[in-house]
C-alpha cells in the first residue's frame, strides 16, 4: 500500500530556518535507510508558506491568495511517499522519522488504489489511461533531473 506522510509545519519551518548540520546528517542517514529498505518512493521539504499561494474556486470565481498563511497548524512542511505492507509499518517508519527530528507531528494517509473503486467507476479503459499517464509522469521526473 502507498501511504503519504505529511509533516506539519511549525514556527521554525515557516520562518525558513535551515536545520543544523547534525540534523541534516541524521535525516540523510535515515532517508538513505528507508530508501534502501524499498519503502521511500519520494520526499521533499516545502518552502515556507510566505513563498506560496492558495488558489480557490467557488461559484465559478477563482481567487488567488499570497502567503504567508496564518493558520500554521494547517500547513505542511514536508512530505514522504512510502510503499508499506500496512499502516502499522507506516506508523513505525513515521515514528522513527519524528525521533530523528526530535519533535513534530505527521499525518499519514493511504493513497487510493484502483482496487478501491468499483469497476463501473474505474473501467479497464480508465486503468489504461492512468497507466499511460503514470508512465509520462516518470518520464517527466527523469527529464527534470537532467
Which residue did the predictor score with more confidence, 125 or 39?
39
Q: Is the pLDDT of residue 7 over 70?
A: yes
Question: What integer is the mean pLDDT of 58-74?
Answer: 88
Percent of all residues in the chain with a pLDDT value above 90, rounded to a whole number: 71
C-alpha cell at 90: 507506516
C-alpha cell at 98: 519524528
Sheet holding 40-45, edge to edge: 40-45, 76-83, 2-8, 106-110
Q: Is the pLDDT of residue 32 over 90?
A: yes
Question: What integer is the mean pLDDT of 24-32?
Answer: 96
Which residue did the predictor score with more confidence, 33 or 130?
33
Question: What integer is the mean pLDDT of 102-111?
Answer: 96
Find, among 114, 56, 106, 118, the residue nearest to 77 by Cα.
106
Q: Is the pLDDT of residue 84 over 70?
A: yes
> What does the pLDDT read at residue 114?
84
Tell me how far apart the alpha carbons of residues 64 and 57 are, in angstroms, rounded to a whole number. Answer: 9
Tell me how far apart the alpha carbons of residues 59 and 134 are, in angstroms, rounded to a whole number. Answer: 31
Tell me how far apart the alpha carbons of residues 134 and 127 are, in angstroms, rounded to a whole number. Answer: 10
The reported pTM is: 0.85
Binned at pLDDT 50, 70 and 90, residue 146 comes out as: low
Q: Is the pLDDT of residue 85 over 70?
A: yes
- The H or E element that residue 54 is part of is strand 53-58
Q: How far is CA 131 from CA 71, 112, 136, in A?
A: 37, 14, 9
Amino acid at each position: 500500500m502507498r501511504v503519504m506522510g505529511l509533516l506539519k509545519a511549525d514556527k521554525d519551518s515557516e520562518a525558513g530556518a535551515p536545520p543544523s548540520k547534525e540534523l541534516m546528517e541524521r535525516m540523510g542517514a535515515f532517508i538513505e535507510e528507508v530508501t534502501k529498505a524499498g519503502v521511500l518512493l519520494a520526499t521533499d521539504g516545502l518552502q515556507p508558506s510566505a513563498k506560496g499561494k492558495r488558489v480557490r474556486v467557488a461559484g465559478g470565481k477563482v481567487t488567488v491568495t499570497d502567503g504567508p498563511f496564518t493558520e500554521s497548524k494547517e500547513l505542511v512542511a514536508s512530505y514522504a511517499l512510502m510503499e508499506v505492507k500496512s499502516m502499522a509499518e507506516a506508523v513505525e517508519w513515521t515514528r522513527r522519522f519524528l525521533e530523528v527530528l526530535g519533535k513534530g507531528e505527521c499525518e499519514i494517509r493511504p493513497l487510493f488504489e484502483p482496487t478501491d473503486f468499483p469497476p463501473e467507476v474505474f473501467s479497464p479503459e480508465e486503468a489504461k489511461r492512468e497507466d499511460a499517464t503514470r508512465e509520462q509522469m516518470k518520464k517527466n521526473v527523469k527529464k527534470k533531473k537532467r
